Amino acid sequence: MKLIVNADDFGYSKGVNLGIIEAHREGIVTSATMMVNMAGFTHAAGLAKENPGLGVGIHLVLDCGSPVSQDVPALIDEQGRFRRGQDHLSEANADQLRGELKAQIETFLASGLKLTHIDSHHHVHAHEAVLPIVLQMAEEYDLPVRNPWTLTPSEQVNWPQIKTTEGFMHRFYGDDLSVDTLISIFEDIDKAGFSTVEMMTHPAFLDEEVLTGSSYNHQRARELQILTAPQIKEYVQKQKIQLVNFNQLG
């Protein structure tokens, strides 16, 4: 089995960035996805260049921080920040959505980093108003896309011409995570019989931006501890799990 362990929210803050790099260097994280509209983007890009073994994709954002492009009134509130939630996206102007998402991708590419794949903050790319645009861009830029629905073999999604993993695991998230929780997740992935799987994670060191800006904060530090635990690295090696990133899907 090939397993991609992706750390979401790269670029959110320096604490998040440093935690992701720690989870890559000292743990099992192989991939991360970048929020180009957040304050830690430039810092994250520099760290990524120092760690070329970390695959870096884009974490498309439509509900956190501010937009990259100009003139997207359908997407912002009175303060010029993205509106919270996703209910408004059904009525949002498609051209504004497309323009903002493309601007985020182009901002990533302008950093000089190689773009490995596409996913999104709070799975917004799975929204019915956003998914067609994202799939078009995946074809245009020749990129894989996270498949947030593929949790069991019976839930296959037909995306012609779009590369993705056979399975996606989002259970490594919450207040009660432990080494045993992660081993149980690995066992469930193995039972599902997938040959390629992505697992979503959110490791971080805590800083002011995370503590005040994200409701998921202390849990990130716990994730980092687990993802770098010796027992986890030993389990992965013993079970012959191949840790890869999206560049190595084949």
The pLDDT tens digits of the residues spanning 29-83 come to 999 999 999 999 999 999 999 999 999 999 999 999 999 999 999 999 999 999 9
3-class SS at 154? helix
Rounded CA separation 61/63 (Å): 6
Rounded CA separation 246/141 (Å): 14
**Count of domains in the chain?**
1
Question: Whole domain around residue 139: which residue ranges?
Answer: 2-248
pLDDT at 150: 53
Which region, left, alpha or beta, applies to residue 38 given φ > 0 means left and ψ of -120 to 50 means alpha? beta
pLDDT at 152: 45
pLDDT at 149: 65
CATH number of the structural domain spanning residue 171: 3.20.20.370
**Residues of the chain falling short of pLDDT 70:** 149-160, 250
pLDDT at 162: 86
